[in-house]
Structure 1
Amino acid sequence: MTVEFEWRGDVDNASLNALHAEGFGGPPGTVDWWTRLHRHSLGWVCAREAGALVGFVNVAWDGGAHAFLLDTVVAERCRGRGLGAALVATAAGEARAARCAWLHVDFEEHLRRFYLDACGFRETAAGLIAL
């Protein structure tokens, strides 16, 4: 089947909460994604197959040169087909079109090959404080 990617696509809270639960574990949450995305994001990319939400990435930003990837997720049944890399490539293209100069991403060690090899990020030094 064909997967369609859409920048700032319509997304309903229930579908995105279900996709996040599948991708990150745990029961579906009750996050109001529509409000969160419209309040804090440069944009987001939705991937749909036969109308169903099968992938998502959020692009937060500082209002200037820096954009940040958050919540990259692909439905389990669709993994291994390049959808995640396509989501990130679409997000990068749209951030570039918005005149962002940098696209940042933080990731856990098991995602290193995905972000560095499949998506083309380069490794940088960073810091983190758990709050």
Structure 2
Amino acid sequence: MTKTLPALRAALLVPFLLLIAGAPPAARAAPHEERSGNWLRLGVTRGDARSGDTRGVLLLCDPPQGHGRAAEACEQLRAAGGDIERIPPRSGAVCPMIYAPVTVSAYGAWDGRRVDYTHTFSNSCVMAAGTGAVFDLPS
């Protein structure tokens, strides 16, 4: 019985992999090609990739929606030209020196340009101080 389980897994996995590998490029296209305006698919993973807790939303900015602080996040992104790294850090932020990694990701489109951003911060306080409302997702 223990030898049949790996064989069964392989039998189920092979057709799936062939389906993905054989899909035409248009079928694997990113969803940003179907949307217009300024938008970002945002993700926040607390902990490491193997056991982390991941949250995500679709932030739309024309008009602001899809995010608990959409108007504020869209305004901060507009001020930074859609470049998350250009969002000014929150002044006066004091964060503990505790390592509790948080990885954020954003992909989408801003002013006709593709956005693809990923960064790991040492903890959620450092993340919030550096990215404003953009990655302030509900826990």
Decide: shared fold, TM above 0.5: no
More relative contact order, 1 or 2 (CA 8 Å, 6+ apart) = 2
Question: Please, what TM-score do these two structures have when normalized by structure 2?
Answer: 0.23
Q: Which has the larger radius of gyration?
A: 2
